[in-house]
Structure 1
Amino acid sequence: MERIIEEIREDLDRRIAVAADRLADRTLTEDPAYAALLGRGELRERIHHTLRQAVEGLVRGARGLPPDLSDARATGALRAEQGLPLASLHRVYRGGGRMLWQSLTEAVAAHDRAALPRLLPTAPALWDVLDRMSDAASEGYHRAEAERRERERERRAALLDALLDGTGLPAAEAAAQLGLPERGRFAVIALDSGDPGGPAGPRPGGAGGGAAPRVLWRVRADGETGLAELGHHPLESLRELLDPLGVRAGVSPVVTDPRELAGARRLAGLALRTSARPAGPGTALLDERLPGALVAADAELAARLRRVVLGPVLALPPEDCRVLLTTLGTWLTCRGSTTYAAQRLYCHRNTVSNRLRRLEQLTGRTLSDPAHVVELALAHAAVTQRATGAAPPAPEGPGGPAVPPARTGAPTPAGTARRSPRPPG
């Protein structure tokens, strides 16, 4: 085969040049992607070069050598960077293969028609070379595409960091590069990094659309944060978006300027800290949890609240402490109704009254005084947040130990039944 190709080399080169012209014209006519990317001269040159490389690969195969695929890989990588669909690249390789075989048979027939039968066994070898070149182009394409996606992911992450941390690029520039409006309605979502679903779970809203707010997610070691572009959607729509995922989430108030997003992220974190983990998944909107957020905002003051207001209760044996705090939390949830609290706790109304009376005696505060109720509610939030935080409860010095976690099956301090976290994945 090598000898035949050498004998027809000049005629084959001429025919290949004509084939490259025809394939370039047809490709530019039939494939808009190529037409938008390359001019005729550049495309014709590339096709011509590829066909000649296929011939050289056939010659190398006859010598027992593999074809040189480096140029095919480079071509695939270049087309990926240029955004050409891989299917378009494959079509040109297939079309080039058909034209090369036609040019080869015509050149052999013109040189010596009797040699045509000797050409037939060459067909599998030629198509093997073309397949290997096409595969190498695909390999280069996929590798470049993966690298491009990673660069885009890193760029997108840096832009989100600039908005959510208030560092790096100016907020207006970062927002513009992310396709966010200069003025709009935004909110920040903070997800609990301790959820079994974890940051790798499915997240809604990444692609935008009219049915739900567009959410851009940022995953870091300290947790997962979402930047929601609300548009015309109410803030409550984020709860509808997040609750089906079975995660704990905190949501900031609405802000209108991208420069306010770093502050909104801090508020979303505070909203998340007001949500008790044992109570199960759920979405906490900051404006619905302002008292708890006040406590979460200052750990030192929260500790002081626990010691000063509920210190005598925290000093009780663990079971007594748990019962009194659970009763207080349920009574607060039931808006001060002893009857409803008793129904929640599955006990008699008088039992609830006796527990509350004992709590009043221990704390020196009365539940009929609104100011005292505020103190008790904030102190209860401080105890609950400490007991459900990442760190295990520990003694607080003179004020006694933090409240121990409720036992499995018991009501939570908020008076609601515990929900099981969703399974991983």
Structure 2
Amino acid sequence: MERIIEEIREDLSRRIAVTADRLADRTLAEDPAYAALLGRAELRERIHHNLRQAVEGLVLGVRGLPVELADARATGTLRAEQGLPLASLLRTYRRGGRLVWQALNEAVAAHDPAALPRLLPAAAVLWDVLDQLTDAVADAYRRTEAARWDRDRERRAALLDALLDGAGPSDGPAVSEAAAQLGLPERGRFAVVVLGAGGSGGSGEPAASGLRVLWRIRADGETGLVELGHHPLESVRELLGPLGARAGVSPVVETPGDLARARWLAALALRTVPASGGPCTALLDERLPTALVASQAELAGRLRQVVLGPVLALPAEDRRVLLNTLGTWLTCQGSTTYAAQRLYCHRNTVSNRLRRLEQLTGRTLSDPAHVVELALAHAAVLQRAAGEGAAPGAKPAGRAPRRSG
């Protein structure tokens, strides 16, 4: 077998050169990925080299020697770095293998047709060589692609940190450059989402709602930068619903430089959601009173004591009944009738409880200013209860980032 290949080597070389021309033309005509990446001369030269390598691999295989795979690995690495799809690369390799076998048969037939049957054992050797070459190409490609993906992920994480942490002036070059590299417009409609413990976002691909979200996972939780486009802020609920998580959502901001502030506001919105409750998406603008209390822990404590101190000093059951009645009455927009229906008691029972609360606090529910005080104090009580019931080790959100300028 080796002698036959040596006898036809010159003719086979000519046929391989012609095959390289044909395969290069076919590849450029049928594969847009190759056409966008390489010119004909470069592609033809590379194909010619690979076809010769397959022939040399066949000679080595017939001799029982190992096939040289370094060039195949280098090709896989290079094409992965260039972004050529692996399917395109492997398709060209496989086509080349079939054409090598065809050229080999034609060369043997032209030299000595009677020798064709002696060529058959070479088929198994050639396919084994081609398998080794394609495996080496694919393995190198996948390794390089994985390493590149890791680099891209780390780079994107650093860019997101630059926007969400607010390092430097909000209108500085670091912010604008990070936004540009992430594909964000200089002006648009953005929001930030902060997920509670155990929540998980996803990829940066457009969600089913049509929103684009860039997720950032860190030790202190998971944050999503949402590019809203023309979608309303409320559509974020649709986005987060399948996650089954507690989440806080910032108001809409218009520039990437405002995203650090938006992240702080989203974290503040999350703090208005009870840790012991189920999945909930809290939009900050819908929870401003509660968020106000959550943002000022020291004043919230003072508010609890000054406004509701006498109620909090009651025995546990009395305290629970009065606070629950107050919260229900506030939720029902001051309707004693609706509050009674929710509490499954008579309207007069609710009225009696509210009168007792007025007596204890010195506040009158007919006075709007007093109602505001009671509502905020009640929110402060709930905040404290949520904090005490939170998982051990839970930390409050940090301070608002300092505004530049």
TM range (shorter): 0.7 to 0.9
Q: CA deviation at 1:16?
A: 1.9
Q: Which residue of 2 aligns with 1:336?
A: 334
Instruction: Give, as a single letter, the amino acid of the residue that structure 2 aligns with 1:207.
Output: P
Look up the match of 2:200: 199
- The one-letter amino acid paired with 1:74 is A
Q: 1:339 to 1:106 in 2, by over 3 A?
A: same
The 1-side partners of 2:263 and 2:58 are apart by 62
Post-superposition Cα deviations, 1:199-257, rounded to whole Å, max 9, x if no partner, equal 15x57x83269x64333222222222222222222222223433354332222222222
Change (3 A) 1:293 1:90: same
- State the Cα deviation string for residues 109-142 of structure 1 (Å, max 9, x = none): 3443332211112112211211221122122222
- In the alignment, structure 1 residue 216 sits paired with structure 2 residue 177: no
Which one of the candidate residues 365, 372, 375 is aligned to 1:367? Answer: 365
Q: Is the 2:159–2:179 contact (alpha carbons within 8 Å) kept by the matching residues of 1?
A: yes
Identity level (%):
77
The letter for the 1-side match of 2:220 is: D
Contact 1:342 1:352 in 2 (8 A): yes
* Kept after mapping to 1: 8 A contact 2:200/2:243: no
The answer to whether the 8 Å contact 1:160/1:218 transfers is yes
Q: 1:5: which partner in 2?
A: 5
Residue of structure 1 in register with 2:180 after alignment: 176
Q: Is the 8 A contact 1:20 1:44 kept in 2?
A: yes
AA paired with 2:85? P
1:106 partner amino acid = E
Q: CA deviation at 1:186?
A: 1.8
Indicate which of 297, 304, 310 corresponds to 2:295. 297
How big is the shift at 1:391? Answer: 5.9
Q: Where does residue 46 of structure 2 map in the other structure? A: 46
Structure 1, unpaired ranges of 5+: 395-425
* Alpha-carbon distance between aligned partners in 2 of 1:339 and 1:172, rounded to the nearest angstrom: 55
- Which residue number in structure 1 is paired with residue 396 of structure 2? none
CA offset digits 1:280-309 (Å, max 9, x no partner): 322222122111111111222222222333
Partner of 1:249, secondary structure, is strand
Number of aligned pairs?
Answer: 388
- Three-state SS of the structure 2 residue aligned to 1:68 is coil
Deviates more, 1:148-157 or 1:94-103: 148-157
Give the aligned partner of residue 240 of structure 2. Answer: 242
Letter in 2 for 1:219: I
- The alpha carbon displacement at 1:390 in A equals 7.4
Looking at structure 2, the residues matched to 157 and 331 of structure 1 have their Cα atoms a distance apart, in angstroms, of: 46
Aligned match of 1:401 = none
Determine the C-alpha separation between the residues in 2 that align with 1:221 and 1:186.
24
- Which stretch has the larger CA shift, 126-135 or 143-152? 143-152
Change (3 A) 1:390 1:105: farther
Alignment pair present for 1:55 and 2:55: yes
**What code does the residue aligned with 1:199 have?**
S
Local SS of the residue matching 1:183: coil
Match of 2:164 in 1: 164
> C-alpha separation between the residues in 2 aligned to 1:206 and 1:374?
43
The TM-score with structure 2 as length reference comes to 0.87
Report what 1:129 is aligned to: 129
Cα deviation, 1:363-388, whole Å, max 9, x if unaligned, reads 33332332222222112111212222
Name 1:91's counterpart in structure 2.
Answer: 91
Note if contact 1:246-1:281 (Cα within 8 Å) is conserved in structure 2: yes
